[in-house]
Amino acid sequence: MKIVIIGNSAAGLSAAETIRHFDTNAEITIITDEIYPPYLRCLIPEVLAGTKSLSELSYKSRDFFDKHNITLIKGKRANAVSPDSKKVLLEDGYEVSYDRLLIATGARPLSGGIKNDQIGNIFPLRTYDQALEAARVASSAKEAVVIGAGLIGLSAAVALRRKGLNVTVVETESHLLISQLDYQGAAIVEEELSREGIRFVFGTRPRAFVPSSGENLVSALVLDNGREIPAEVAIVSTGVQPNVELVENAGGKVRTGIVVNDLLQTSIEDVYAAGDCIEIEDAASGDTLLSGLWPLAVEQGRFAAYNIIGKHRPYPQPLVRMNSTQFGNIPIISLGLINSKNSNESLIYKDLNNRVYRRLFFRDNILVGCILLGDVNGAGVYTYLIKRKIPVENIKHKLTRGITSIAEVMKLKS
Amino acid sequence: MSKEILVNYEKCLGCRSCEIACAVAHSQSKTLVGAILNNEKPLKRIFVNQVKDKKIPLSCRHCEEAPCIDACIAGAMHRTSEGIVTNEGGMHECTGCWMCVMVCPYGVIRSLSDRRKAVKCDRACFDETDEPACVRACPTGALSYVTVDQFGESKRYRFLFEALSTLIR
C-alpha cells in the first residue's frame, strides 16, 4: 500500500512511525516544503533568544527516514490533490500517487491586518527560518515590539528581552493570555514578566507600522490611541489559520479547519487529516474548535495511522482547550472552559505570597475547566476529570486546594 | 512479559517507607543521612494517597500508549528499550513546559518549577536484588514487582493494576 503524508512535523511523523511499527511493507512517502530535518516547533522562541540551534531542536535521529524506510521529498510544496487519479501534484510538476493520503499541513500565522506590515523586520514566529531571521535582526536592535500577548507572543517577548532589547507587548484585549487565564491569574503573570523588564500596553489596537526614512524597515508602531512605540524589530503573533487549501481545492469539506470524522477521515475517500490543519469537537464544551496543539497533533497522527492501516480505532474526543507553560518562576496550566458563561460555580484558592492561584469552574458538579498557576502538580488529574465529565461533588474543595489524587475517583473493590 | 509495580492496597499501612526509599535512591549520596548532610532534598516519585480509610500508593504505570510521550514538546520524554518511560537520557533535556504533567491521568509526574524539570519514576533505583527501591522498602508486601500474569485472575481484583489500567482507555 502506498501511503503519502503531506507534512513533516508532529502529526505527520507520528503517523509515519506508527504505520511503520505495524506494517513493514507499506510504502511511506513524506512531502514537506521545509528543507530542515524535523524540529521541535514549540521551542523556536529559543532560536529567537539565541539559546538553541537547529540541531538542538531536531528530534528525530539523522537516520530516522532510512531506518523507517520512509521516502522524504523535502523543500517542495504540494500544490494540489487529485482525488480521482489519487495523486498529489508537487510544485515542480512531479506527481506522487497514493492509496491513502494523510494531510498534516499544519497552520500558518494570521497576518494581523496591521497597516504597512509588508515592510522589513516584521516577523511572525512559526518556522525556524522566521525565528532565525528575527534573531539576526534583533541582535543589532535595541527596541522591539510584540503584537499579541498570547503564548507565542509572550515567549517571543521573553526571548527578545533575554537578548537585551527593550520590549513592549501590545494586546487588544484587557489582559495577557486571554484564552488561558482570568484577570487575576493574568495579573500575577504580568507582574512576573514586568519584573523582567517587559512592558505591556492593553486594550488598544495596533494601527500601523512606521517605516524608517530611506530604508523600508520598521521603525515604530502606532497604536489606535495615537501612541507611538519605537520598534526596530516586530513580532506579530495574533493567532494562526489552518492550512486547509489542499483539501478545500480538491472538493473536501472545510469549515474553519478541515472537517474529519472520528476516524480522522476527510470527506474525500482515502484522504485523512490530522494536527493543526483540522477542526475537532472539544470534549469539555462540545464545540468544534481548531485543534492546534502539539500533543494533540502527535496523538491524532497516531490514530490516523491506525485507521489508515485498517485497525479501525476511533479517535477519542480530546480536550482541545488545554495548554501549559512557564513564565519566570510561574508554571501555568489552563484547561477547558475558563469563563463563567459555561459554568455555574467557580471556586478559587489563593496563596499570593507563594504566587499560587487556582481557579476551578464547575457546571452542575462537573469540572469543566481550571486555571492552575504557581503549582501545577497533579494537573493531569484535572484534565482527566474534565475529559471524562466525572461528577466531583464530594471533592470539589479538595480539588480547589490542590490536595487530591486520582485515587479519589478510582472505583476500588473491597 | 514486562514486570510492573503492583499495589495491594489492602496491605498498605500508609507508612510512606516507599516514598523515602524512592527519594533516597534518587539522591546523589543514596543514603538518607548523606542526602540530608549534603543539604540535598531528596525527591520522591511515588505518592501515598489517603482515600477514606484506604491508603493508595501511586507511581508511574509506564503506560503502553503513554500520553506524556505524545505530549512532550521538547523531545525529552521517551520509552527506553526496556519499556521504561522517562525524560532522562532522551534526545534532549526536559525544558519544564509541563505538558506531561498536564496529560498524566495519574498525576504522578512532578514539576520542579525552579529547575524547569519534570521528575517521575524512572526505575533508576534498582539494586542487585533487581527490585525497585519502593518495593524493597515496603514492610507489608503491599508493593510487589512481578510480571502481571503471575497473579491468578481471582487475586487480581484486589490489586490496583486493574483499576489503574482501565483509567486511560
Closest-CA residue in chain A for B65?
A: A299
For chain A, the average pLDDT equals 95
A226-A232-A236 Cα angle (round to 5): 70
Q: How far apart are CA A105 and CA A252, in angstroms?
A: 15
Tell if the CB–CB gap between B106 and A330 is shorter than 8 Å: no
Which chain A residues are within 8 Å of B95, Cβ to Cβ? 43
Beta strands in B52-94 (DSSP E): 54-58, 78-79, 85-86
Which amino acid is residue A224, in one-letter code? D
CB interface of B with A, residues 107-126, below 8 Å:
107, 109-111, 113-114, 116
In sequence order, the 6+-apart residues with CB closer than 8 A to the CB of B121 are: B22, B45, B46, B59, B60, B62, B108
Asked if the C-beta of B90 comes within 8 angstroms of chain A's C-beta atoms, the answer is no
| pTM of structure | 0.94
Q: What is the pLDDT of residue B128?
A: 81
Classify strands A206-211 and B110-112 as parallel, antiparallel or unpaired.
unpaired
Cell reading at B113: 518549577
Q: What is the pLDDT of residues B52-95, one digit of tens each?
A: 888 989 999 899 889 999 999 999 999 999 899 999 999 999 99
* Fold of domain A2-35+74-107+241-308: FAD/NAD(P)-binding domain (3.50.50)
In sequence order, the 6+-apart residues with CB closer than 8 A to the CB of A51 are: A162
Cell reading at A253: 469539506
Q: How far apart are CA A189 and CA A149, in angstroms?
A: 11
Separation of CA B127 from chain center: 16
A75-A77-A83 Cα angle (round to 5): 140
Plot region of A238 (φ>0 → left; ψ -120 to 50 → alpha; else → beta): alpha
Asked if the C-beta of A63 comes within 8 angstroms of chain B's C-beta atoms, the answer is no
Q: How far apart are CA A336 and CA A345, in angstroms?
A: 14
Q: What is the pLDDT of residue B168?
A: 47
Domain B64-120 carries which CATH code?
Answer: 3.30.70.20
Q: What is the pLDDT of residue A106?
A: 97
Q: What is the pLDDT of residue B164?
A: 59
Q: How far apart are CA A95 and CA A84, in angstroms?
A: 13
Domain A122-236 carries which CATH code?
Answer: 3.50.50.60
Q: How far, CA to CA in Å, does B160 sit from each of A138, A183, A228, B155?
A: 54, 41, 62, 11
Tell if the CB–CB gap between A408 and B71 is shorter than 8 Å: no
- Chains A and B form CB pairs within 8 A to the count of 127
Parts of chain A belonging to CATH 3.50.50.60? 2-35+74-107+241-308, 122-236
Tell if the CB–CB gap between B51 and A324 is shorter than 8 Å: no
Closest CA–CA distance from residue B54 to any residue of chain A (Å): 10
Q: What is the pLDDT of residues B104-139, one digit of tens each?
A: 999 999 999 999 999 999 999 988 888 999 999 999
Q: Which of A376, A380, A407 sits opposite B56 (nearest CB)?
A: A407
Domains B1-59+123-169 and B64-120 share a fold: yes
pLDDT, mean of residues A25-50: 96
Parts of chain A belonging to CATH 3.30.390.30? 330-409
A282 within 8 A of A288, measured Cβ to Cβ: yes
CB interface of A with B, residues 382-401, below 8 Å:
383-384
Q: Which secondary-structure segment (H or E) carries A289?
A: strand A288-290
Longest Cα–Cα distance of chain A, Å, equals: 80
Asked if the C-beta of B1 comes within 8 angstroms of chain A's C-beta atoms, the answer is no
* Fold of domain A330-409: Enolase-like; domain 1 (3.30.390)
Asked if the C-beta of B43 comes within 8 angstroms of chain A's C-beta atoms, the answer is no
Residue of B64, B73, B166 best to disrupt the A interface, most CBs of A under 10 A = B73
CATH class for the region spanning B1-59+123-169 = alpha beta
Cell reading at A192: 512576573
Note the ipTM here.
0.94
Domain ranges of chain B: 1-59+123-169, 64-120
A160-A164-A167 Cα angle (round to 5): 50
Q: How far apart are CA A192 and CA A213, in angstroms?
A: 36
